[in-house]
Structure 1
Amino acid sequence: MTTTVDHNQTVEEQAIAAKKAAKSLSILKTADKNGALTIIANELENNIAYILQANEKDLENGKQRGFEQAFMDRLALDDNRIKAFAEGLRVVADLPDPIGEVLSNWTLENGLKVETVRVPLGVIGMIYEARPNVTVDATGLALKSGNAIILKGGSSAIHSNLAIVEIMHKALGKTEIPKEAVQFIASTNREATKQLFTMKEHIDVLIPRGGGSLIQTVVENATVPVLETGVGNCHLYIDKEADLNMGLDIMVNAKTDRPAVCNAAETLIIHQDFLNQYHSELAQTLSDNRIVVHGDEYACNLLPDCIPATEKDWAEEYLRLEIAVKTVKNLQEAIDHIDQYGTKHSEAIITENQETAKKFMQLTDAAALYHNASTRFTDGGALGFGAEIGISTQKLHARGPMGLPALTTVKYMMSGNGQIR
């Protein structure tokens, strides 16, 4: 294949083209959008070998640059991962179209009819790092919700992203959606990224997805409105009334299923009574799963090979098989610890006491809260969104995994028969 991405096109030219495409995309029929997503999914699956060939170049560059294993895991693609994000597009296609949904309606005393209706945001700027799947997930959600998208992936995944966008552009050529609705900034120059920050006349919202430094840079420097996604210093609190097997099983899943993702547990908060009774079982489970423990003094007295935790450990997003262990005497101490060090992403409690669980869920400030379940479910696909464009840890205007509704706004539409004021 020959890439269709124009390396010489300026960022502003791409933004102007995206804004023009967004106009036509906003009025497309649902069937046309769904058909386009299905065609893109099929093309991606038909070109798995081509994508993997490009991904191998990124992986080799990553090895030469000494990337950490967690970063390499986010960067790596295989047959199953490509099939999974292609299938995610089909799931998005099957979801209800939010555009045109009437959220509320009423009639004034003078007969003026009022409706609030969902409409697209317009043009979404997506800035992200190592995960090539974001290129597909973000595009699918943007197109289904009637938005154009400008993609700015990190240099570490440049070959993978170029291949994926090339295939998506080829697929869009067979649809009613103009390929200009999907823009990819091929430049690896940081100035190209910074240019996105201030293009309010062309871009309606920026969504940064990646490490803390990337997100902070966008939030602090952008004049375009930002939908902030957050890093995941997620906590799992095992209460004194927790079921042993459930607590250990959830901990293992939350920590080891995919340690490099943002919804993995990074801190285990544990009630002293539970630790006193079951420290041998906990120690064995941690050892069996090769989890390195950084614990407070109380935990280190009971858990072998425990590394004394520093202040840094309580705020650390390890993204690997390491966990901080904090012991507490009661629920309030657990909540206080989360308030101090949490990132408002995902928090979980394991307990058989319903009142304790209810209090935890009410008082803990986070986008996603779990009772007797793993934090790994904070994911658009897992929650039935098909995909997600990111996990918002802020409170306006979207929070948690952001699917189709999060990429819309509203219009007030009034209909009358000559009313004047």
Structure 2
Amino acid sequence: MDHFIYKDGSLFAEDVPVAEIAAQVGTPFYLYSTATLVRHFRLFDEALSWGPHLVCYAMKAASNQAILRTLAQEGAGMDVVSGGEYARAIAAGVPGERIVFSGVGKTHEEIKAALTGGIRQFNVESEPEMRVISEVATSLGVVAPITVRVNPDVDAKTHAKIATGKSENKFGIPIARAREVYAEAAALPGLKVVGIDVHIGSQLTQLEPFQQAYQKVADLTEALRADGHEITRLDLGGGLGIPYARSNEAPPLPTDYGAMVKDTLGHLGCEIEIEPGRLIAGNSGIMVSKVIYVKNGEGRDFLILDGAMNDLIRPAMYEAHHEIIPVQEAEPGVELTPYDIVGPVCETGDTFAKGRLMPPLAAGDLVAFRSAGAYGAVMASEYNTRPLIPEVLVKDDQFSVIRPRPTFDEMINRDNVPEWL
């Protein structure tokens, strides 16, 4: 569920007409709903209310300060994967004890910054990283809380580029070697083992892969406890998917996920951490764009938009589907026309959809890309010297630009020209 609905034939974000925002901000732009963000976070929080838990928002999905503050005020923790994301979380007012540091390539500088500023735990991805964390912590005279990310070799049944829990993926320690790695961790100065971490991928639409992975984690927990390790937290990652096409079968609800976690791991008495990103942010945002031209091609017609692959890379990168709807609702019974929907960037890959059935549209009409709140603005670029597009947040009948569109002068003036030129 989201809060982007038609009222009297016009698309609204909560209580604000999308066309009104477009008139003031210009297109293209990202638009987020506070009510949807909060609702989705609360669904996860309530789904795990049967025991101690922390929902850490995976901020790589959408990391604007306004979004982070909205979720932090709800009690969310943050899952960060870089020093920059850690700095963003701190700037948004998230205390260090609610920040989990994931990621496969943590640097000495990032580890030091997190230990200095406060951290809930590091999710360790390799033995070399574990040794560096120990060295940095020891040099600072502190103890670093860690979990070890285990790779359970489970097929997440998702897109190959976002699967992370198979043996050939770069993530984590093979679960078969976990006991020896935990033994080394326990012997290293500067480390305190607090739990186990696992994450098998993103955009999962079935519970079965989660359950397979979590059962392996349950068995490992008991084995590690028998080895003398104190396992008090289980970090289960994120990955629950969203329906990008309304015709698709809906993925499991957070309530179903929470019940499965309880059935699989509830008997262990551990605090549960989860790191949803897409399911919190995905349907909380849309991208609004304007038709520049309607072009008649050889055997096909094109809708050429002012939004492009640099603004929303997912279709080009992942072959991702986004529902695209007119901001002005089509009349009932109107005949739909197949269009290739494309952007103006000089790449054939700058294609959002092929043969997509749409009501007749003309230059100047607005369209909205649904489910664009996750991995949209954060993956945007300035390719073709196109400015990063604005981000706008709606709350009830108010809206605010939470990231402005830079001018060409601001973009160009970031370049430094050598004296000899």
Q: Higher strand share goes to which structure?
A: 2
TM-score of the superposed pair, with normalisation by structure 1:
0.32
TM-score of the superposed pair, with normalisation by structure 2:
0.32
